[in-house]
Amino acid sequence: MKKSIQPIRFSFLILLIVLSGCTNNNNVSVSTEVTTTPSDIPLSPTPTKQPYASVTPLPWPTLPAIRTPEIREALPAEGVVEFHILHWNDFHGELGERINAEKVWVPGAARLAAFVKAEEAKYDLGQVLMLDAGDWFEGSKFARASRGIKVVELYKRLGVDAVTVGNHDFFLGVLQFYQVVSQADPIEIISVNLKKKGPNKTCSEQRIVSPYTIFELGEEAGPKVRVAVIGAGAHYLEELSYSPIPGICFADPVEETLQIYDELMETEHPDVLILLTHQGLSLDKDTAAALRAAGKPVDIIIGGHSHSWIEKPEQVGDTFIVTAGELGRAVGVLDLAYDRATSKLDVKWRQEVFSFCSPEDPDTVKFLEDTVPATNPKQECTNVKNPDYDYLIDMPSTYESVGFWTLGKGVFPAVDTGMTMGQVISNHGKEYPYGLFAHAPSELRYMLDGKFTAFVTEISVKETACGDGASFVVSLDDKEIYRSETVLPRYDAIPLSLDVTGGKKLKLETISGNDMSCDWTIWGDPYLVRK
């Protein structure tokens, strides 16, 4: 069973000062209750720029104790441990399916829950770690109804292990952030550089939440791997809001990580070090480089804040960097193996992007009935997978390259003429919920290992594309088996059924015309027929 090593918790002193009554102009005695914070942090940012700030003074809640290093013995140097990390970021409380103000389709928490449960069912409970990279409980109308508490309850039901802190997590006011953190147990809220504001707009030395947490993972009867997860936000993240958030301060994450690094490694003896950040993909790469230059690298950075989409992990030295889009539209999965004898970590990453046809977890649908009404508009899935086929959208590629944006898997990867990011791939009135959308020139490769007899798809160029068309090429074991003429946007989809019997490697290419602009190529629900 997964073992989260919890810190000893104690209570902050809650000060309630009840002022004695005063007399107004009509000589009526009025009693006023004032709540002060444990550190004199104002209740909320500027109300005129923070429409959701707390307006009713409440008692300040008890927060978990700040973790300090605990002396542990290193685990035995034998065996290989397989474990898995599910991660997402910038969820923003998107509990229900909807089309948001930016015309992006949001899948809702029931699809997230269905995928998480399906992944966890594949492994021992102790092999799976679930992490969120910040901006998690505030944003959508569904989350605001409970001031984020419904999201906390959802995360507990999902089994989320740790969350770092984002700037949106203060948009309901600092007091509400404290309320959420106080109710989050057993979820660990972590940030190495979130501190209370000191004099002269500097950060004090006092942390608000624990800087890191420790997990021991592995099959129940097998060897274990000790994983340290450090939380971090961008330097001055408190400034990245409707207005600066008073009373809190995000110090330099690199400096703060370096300050705890040696003691953490020497006392807790983690095998794998993960930085869970809310600072954006570019800063994640800078952080990886800075820690590497200091001789104190981390193995993996799991990030958020920039809402970035990636097709494969970024890598700085030996540090792998991943992120998973936004708004609960995707979940990243790290499939990891740690060799205890050699201290080598093998890293593989994949991503599940949800579509209209992604299953919903019925228990989560029921749990959200009081928050997401049954009348909430939903998109209809019009094309159900055939269980006898293997769809490319479900197969890990060995290589992906696209001319612009990222590869669309079931949904469009961007907003442009005739398409909306997050909407199911469609063309000429037909939807492809398992389709692949690639801006040409593109190349995709898959291992078949001789298991299939046929490759089936429909090829087309998006009808709203402005370019002069593209051609499609299919190769089997490096031999071309199909090449189309130039396909123009006005053409209907062209069906393909190609013999791949005994083939080991499949390569799909799209080649731009002379224009090379908006050549939006679509492989319509491509699948393989098993032997």
Question: pLDDT grade, residue 112 (50/70/90)?
Answer: very high
| Cα dist from 473 to 65, 189, 212, 215, 489, whole Å | 59, 49, 49, 47, 17
pLDDT of residue 58: 57
> 52 vs 260, which has greater pLDDT?
260
The CATH superfamily assigned to 389-530 is NPCBM/NEW2 domain (2.60.120.1060)
- Count of residues for the chain? 531
pLDDT for residue 123 is more than 60: yes
Q: Quick one: average pLDDT of 192-199?
A: 94
| Domain ranges across the chain | 82-367, 389-530
Bridge partners of 498? 455
pLDDT of residue 30: 29
pLDDT of residue 93: 97
> What distance in Å separates the CA atoms of residue 238 and residue 415, rounded to the nearest whole number?
29
Contacts of 56 (CB under 8 A, 6+ apart): none
Residue environment code for 438-467, b if the CB has 16+ CB neighbours within 10 A, otherwise e: bbbbbbbebebeeebebbbbbbbbbbebeb
Nearest Cα neighbor of 210 from 404, 353, 68, 48 is 68
301-351 pLDDT, tens per residue?
A: 999 999 998 878 999 999 999 999 999 999 999 999 999 999 999 999 998
pLDDT for residue 482 is more than 90: yes
> What distance in Å separates the CA atoms of residue 464 and residue 437, rounded to the nearest whole number?
14
Q: Per-residue DSSP letters for 410-429?
A: SB-SS-BTTB-TTSBPEETT
pLDDT of residue 243: 65
Q: Helix axis angle, 149-158 relative to 174-182, nearest 10°? A: 30
> What distance in Å separates the CA atoms of residue 83 and residue 73, rounded to the nearest whole number?
21
> What distance in Å separates the CA atoms of residue 310 and residue 317, rounded to the nearest whole number?
18
pLDDT for residue 26 is more than 70: no
pLDDT over 70, % of the chain: 89
Cβ(385)–Cβ(434) below 8 Å: yes
Whether this prediction's pTM lies above 0.95 is answered by no
Cβ(380)–Cβ(522) below 8 Å: no
Cβ(251)–Cβ(207) below 8 Å: no
Question: pLDDT grade, residue 41 (50/70/90)?
Answer: low
Q: Quick one: average pLDDT of 107-114?
A: 97
pLDDT of residue 57: 54
pLDDT for residue 440 is more than 50: yes
> 54 vs 144, which has greater pLDDT?
144
- Which of 46-55, 181-190, 427-436 has the weakest average pLDDT? 46-55
- Which of 43-52, 181-190, 202-211, 462-471 has the weakest average pLDDT? 43-52
383-406 pLDDT, tens per residue?
A: 788 999 999 998 989 999 999 988
Q: Per-residue DSSP letters for 273-330?
A: EEEEEES-HHHHHHHHHHHHHTT---SEEE--SS----SS-EEETTEEEE---STTSE
Query: Can you tell me which residue has the tokens 């051609």?
Result: 471
Q: Quick one: average pLDDT of 117-127?
A: 95
> What distance in Å separates the CA atoms of residue 225 and residue 70, rounded to the nearest whole number?
17
Identify the CATH number of the domain defined by range 82-367: 3.60.21.10
Question: pLDDT grade, residue 74 (50/70/90)?
Answer: very high
H or E segment to which residue 127 belongs: none
Contacts of 456 (CB under 8 A, 6+ apart): 389, 495, 496, 497, 498, 526, 527, 528, 529
